[in-house]
Amino acid sequence: MALLANCRDKLQSCAIGELKPDSVVWFTRIRAVDDCNIFGFKHSKTENGRGLYSNQYTDRPEEKICGLNKCDMTGTLIVKPETGKNAKVTTGVLVAGEKFQFGYQRILINGKKGDKFKLTIKNKGDSTNGNIYNVTLTQDGWNAVIVELFSPDSTLGTGWIADERSYQLEVEAQESKEFRLSTIELFTRRTDLIRNSTFGFTCITDFSGDPALTITEELCGSKSYDEKATKIERSITANKFIGEFAEMNPLASKNDTTDFDIMTSQEFTAKLETKNGIEYAVVTLPDLAEITCPKIIVQPQNCANGVLSDLGIGGNVQKLGLTADDYFLEDNKIYMKSDWEGVKFVIAYPVMYEGTAWDLITEDMNKYHYYMEMELPICNDLYILKAYNVFLTAVPMTWTNAAGAMTIPYTMSEDDNGVLGQLIKVDSSK
């Protein structure tokens, strides 16, 4: 055997590469389309021209429109104007307009760069009042045109005052040119316009998880893979995060609130004041949030850990005797027994801050899915692992007094085309 081994040619081999410290795994959280808020032009009316409605897949807008796949889009109305006339299309949007009075509307228009259109919104059955929006296409082909429904360029009569009725949309070309229309999409909130958000993890110490391939054995046949039972569960352990942390969480649903009452604490010294003939020791909270029933802790710094009790009276107090153990709040002042004059207090109370908020709720969990992309060094080549329909199965929300790693488990599921993912070998010859 030794002699034969000496005669063998040496086969070339390489090591599976290790992850570099700057390797990044990217995730994109993608919001699903709300089919109930999508409308088309199938039953529209065309003036000063002829409209041909096509529901063929090839006539729909290209999939470059962010947030919409072709399967989410409606058919296309092809509008050819009469010679020398500007064609106008009117279609009903069969939804209660009042839900979107302060929302947004997106419409897909196909034309030439610089083409101008006038969009008019009116309540069904109202021909004299409406909102007018002037739009100009910014590129050749399909344009996604978004208007703020509450901010028209001009109005007809009293403007569009939405109610429980549906409304009608008029799209009028400002030149005698052919154009196409497809897919009206409505949004109730500005945050609903955010269709995807990308974040990443770096300083990765572990990227693991192998496909579980289940084998079945038929009674009258050979063994085979169970396609339905096959799944890929993986996890990532990383030390650093890139992006907006809240957007990673499947429970997080962004809202439009911008002002929040948040607790803070400061030290104050009580001063004597007279109110309605009664002396009180008083502390003024200059930046107390103007909210109903603020949460407050009043603790005297007298070598004890006790706190005073809030009588919770509210409103105007005329005369009220206090014990040493309680207080009442009026406006931004805390009134205590006069014996506390000159004593220092640490008081925790809410102040107002501006910020961004996400509601942690379960009802929106299935409105999102995730896309994942990761570089994999194999031998001297670079591979990219892509997964198009990923579900995070846990979210790191543990903090300690030291910087630590976070582990994110997830499952790779089939997309609409039955694909779990892709493994791409990057051509390094370029």
Predicted confidence pLDDT, tens digits, the chain (430 residues): 565 566 666 777 777 777 887 889 999 998 888 888 999 999 999 999 999 999 888 888 876 666 677 778 889 999 999 999 999 999 999 999 999 999 999 999 999 999 999 999 999 989 899 999 999 999 999 999 999 999 999 999 999 999 988 999 999 999 999 999 999 999 998 888 888 889 999 998 888 887 777 787 766 667 787 777 777 888 989 989 999 988 889 899 888 889 999 999 999 999 999 988 889 999 999 999 999 889 999 999 987 778 999 887 766 666 777 888 989 998 899 999 999 999 999 999 999 999 999 999 998 888 888 999 998 888 888 889 999 999 998 888 878 777 778 898 998 888 878 888 899 998 874 5
User: Ramachandran region of residue 123, left (φ > 0), alpha (ψ -120 to 50) or beta?
Assistant: beta
CA distance 208 to 200: 16
Strands 88-93, 45-47: pairing kind? antiparallel
From 123, 32, 404, 391, select the one nearest 232 (Cα to Cα): 391
d(CA 363, CA 361): 6
Task: Name beta bridge partners: 185.
Answer: 38, 106
Query: Which CATH architecture describes the domain 31-193?
Result: Sandwich (2.60)
**Percent of the chain that is helix, strand, coil (3-state, to 5):** 10, 45, 45
Two structure tokens written together for 422: 């892709």
Residues 277, 283, 287, CA angle at the centre, nearest 5°?
Answer: 125
Which residue spans within 258-379 are E strands per DSSP? 259-269, 271-275, 278-284, 297-300, 309-310, 326-330, 333-337, 344-354, 358-360, 368-378
- What does the DSSP 8-state code read for residue 193? G
Q: Residue 299 is which amino acid? A: Q
β-pairing, 309-310 with 326-330? parallel
DSSP 8-state class, residue 192 = G
